[in-house]
Amino acid sequence: MIYRSTRSPIQASDPEAVLSGIAPDGGLFLPKEMVFPAFSAEETVKKDFLGIAEDILHTLFDSFTREEIADLVRASYEGKFSAPDFTPTVPVGDKYVLELFYGPTCAFKDVALSVLPHLMVKSREKCGVTDEIVILTATSGDTGKAALCGFRDVAGTRILVFYPHGGVSAVQRAQMVTQPGENTFVAAIEGNFDDAQTGVKNIFARFAAENTLSGKGARLSSANSINIGRLAPQIVYYFKAYGDLLREGRLSFGDKVDFVVPTGNFGNILAGYFAKKMGLPVGKLVCASNANNVLTDFIRTGTYDKRRPFYQTESPSMDILVSSNLERLLFLLSDGDDAAMAGWMKSLSEDGVYTVPAALLEKLQEDFAAYCCDDAKAGEVLGRIYRETGYLADPHTAVALGGAEEYFRDRMEDRPLVVLSTASPFKFSGPVMKAIGLDFEGNEFDRIRRLSEVSGLAVPPSLAELESLPERHKDVIGRDRMGDFVLSHLR
Ligand SMILES: *Cc1c(COP(=O)(O)O)cnc(C)c1O
């Protein structure tokens, strides 16, 4: 499949797009034509999770044979998720919740980061590249661990993760410093997340300018959600959820389903839009934000304005003011107007704001609705749903459940509604305990055990074992030492 950039007519093959991540002009890769004649949504929804994954990845990455994709899907998922059907759909009150947190790190990023390493290695082969792929990741907590698990012992890759010293939770730290694998390296940075992020960006720039890696058999890459190889696997669970409702007789193929998505960088919800473009009968895609509600305002008014306070909330993985993947949606809605796209992105970086034309906004609102829910409201919803139905949500999912309640009141048509659940409640036990009215003194691990006793839910095995695993990655380094850390850990 031919991919193209959102900012100019630059093209790439599917393995090239995966290998490079971002386009050379700073844009994001999208299929050149969003039409998939060989793909049948009606046939694909009947399959199980792995079967759906095969169909979708083979459609979007057709430089690979069906067999190559089948092998890759098995290597990515088998034995890695604690739910037999990977992403189950469960009824909660008058809605459904699509649970995406049964992977190794208990958050939805596992679904895509399980696939990306294998896709990168295969893409490397297809492109005739022999260098080892060295993944650099700065993390505020969740992405780093999911990337470490995904790349662990994948031949031809190596991963280095930097996190802010003292800036992540006890569980998040334990998840990273105990990470097994011959090709995994982790360091704490004396600084905050922005310092870690800036440090990584500087390494990319400096190593490129100074040709640092030439002759060293290594090339740098990143695992963040602008890579098309991370977006594609997320399309799978929209089909899986639709198939679940079909099998339970809740609908017939063709009936529309609404999805509510707790949103940060706009990757997860954009995958839902891709599912719709590929023929899944999706009704509205409802974007749920926390107090950082820049997307709510944008979807309602057409003006994207990042000049606003940044809030640290209890749903930290959604604390974001510039949602990278929105660029892909705007490109598609403007019928591929790359000049307009480049202009909006320029005003965003120079002035912090841009406004899209009224016609584009109208199209956007046909497919999307938007709601926001601050910590107080999300906590109220989390506590009430737990009392009324026994269902325990995490704070990110609670933002979406709050959005779903408002959408229920506003919407015109009555149809099944699926709320995407992006993390296990045990991963964010502090705000969850507060929301259900439990006071507790003690460390984070004691709290997790207490939450398990009270809720009757088992602690996810990967969190339960953390306390007893040996710490392997104890480096704490200055910000100016990050480049040396990378160089000293090459092959
Ligand atoms: C990353 C993340 C999100 C936001 O997803 P996007 O694809 O960035 O919109 C929501 N919830 C959790 C738990 C996450 O880790």
Per-residue pLDDT tens for 5-38?
Answer: 999 999 999 999 999 888 888 889 999 999 999 9
What pLDDT does residue 182 have?
96
Q: How far is the CA of 269 from the centre of ligand 1 (A)?
A: 10
- CA dist 340 and 321 (Å) reads 21
Burial grade of 304 (CB within 10 A; 0-12, 13-18, 19 or more): buried
Annotation: CATH topology of 89-107+231-458 = Rossmann fold (3.40.50)
What is the best residue among 286, 293, 396 to mutate for testing ligand 1's pocket, by most ligand atoms within 8 Å of CB? 396
Contact 221, 134 (CB under 8 A): yes
pLDDT tens-digit readout, 297-354: 999 999 999 999 989 899 988 988 888 899 999 999 999 999 999 999 999 989 999 9
What is the best residue among 113, 234, 317 to mutate for testing ligand 1's pocket, by most ligand atoms within 8 Å of CB? 317
Residue nearest ligand 1's atom 11 by CA: 422
CA 383 from centre of chain: 26
Residue range 252-261: mean pLDDT, rounded: 98
The number of beta carbons lying within 10 Å of the beta carbon of residue 326 is 24
Residue nearest ligand 1's atom 1 by CA: 317
What pLDDT does residue 487 have?
95
**Which ligand 1 atom is at minimum distance from the Cα of 143?**
15
**Which ligand 1 atom is at minimum distance from the Cα of 267?**
7
Q: How far is the CA of 38 from the centre of ligand 1 (A)?
A: 31
Helix locations, 227-293, DSSP H: 228-247, 267-277
Q: How far is the CA of 484 from the centre of ligand 1 (A)?
A: 31
- 71's CB contacts (< 8 A; 6+ apart) are none
What pLDDT does residue 135 have?
94
Residue nearest ligand 1's atom 14 by CA: 317
- CA dist 296 and 423 (Å) reads 22
- pLDDT tier at 209, thresholds 50, 70, 90: confident
Residue nearest ligand 1's atom 4 by CA: 264
Residue nearest ligand 1's atom 2 by CA: 317
pLDDT tens-digit readout, 133-172: 999 998 887 889 999 999 999 999 999 999 999 888 888 8
* Amino acid identity for residue 247 in this structure: R
Q: Which of 174, 179, 88, 113 is nearest to 463 (CA)?
A: 174
Per-chain mean pLDDT for the chain: 94
What does the DSSP 8-state code read for residue 22?
B
Residue range 464-483: mean pLDDT, rounded: 94
What is the best residue among 193, 422, 424, 429 to mutate for testing ligand 1's pocket, by most ligand atoms within 8 Å of CB? 422
The pair of structure tokens assigned to 474 is: 């104890």
What is the best residue among 98, 100, 101, 108 to mutate for testing ligand 1's pocket, by most ligand atoms within 8 Å of CB? 108
Q: How far is the CA of 422 from the centre of ligand 1 (A)?
A: 7
Q: How far is the CA of 324 from the centre of ligand 1 (A)?
A: 12
pLDDT for residue 61 is more than 80: yes
Q: How far is the CA of 490 from the centre of ligand 1 (A)?
A: 30
**Which ligand 1 atom is at minimum distance from the Cα of 266?**
9
**Which ligand 1 atom is at minimum distance from the Cα of 101?**
13
What pLDDT does residue 244 have?
98
Q: Which residues line ligand 1 (CB under 6 A)?
A: 107-109, 142, 225, 262-268, 317-318, 396, 422-423
Q: Where are the beta strands (DSSP E) in 229-374?
A: 257-262, 282-289, 303-305, 353-355, 368-372
What pLDDT does residue 99 have?
98
What pLDDT does residue 225 have?
82
Residues involved in catalysis: 109
pLDDT tens-digit readout, 411-428: 988 899 999 999 999 999
Three-state SS for 286? strand
**Which ligand 1 atom is at minimum distance from the Cα of 423?**
13
- 427's CB contacts (< 8 A; 6+ apart) are 101, 106, 107, 171, 394, 463
Q: How far is the CA of 126 from the centre of ligand 1 (A)?
A: 31
What pLDDT does residue 169 have?
81
Give me the half-sphere count of Cα atoms (radius 13 Å) on the Cβ side of residue 336. Answer: 12
Q: How far is the CA of 70 from the centre of ligand 1 (A)?
A: 27
**Which ligand 1 atom is at minimum distance from the Cα of 427?**
13
Residue nearest ligand 1's atom 8 by CA: 265
**Which ligand 1 atom is at minimum distance from the Cα of 320?**
8
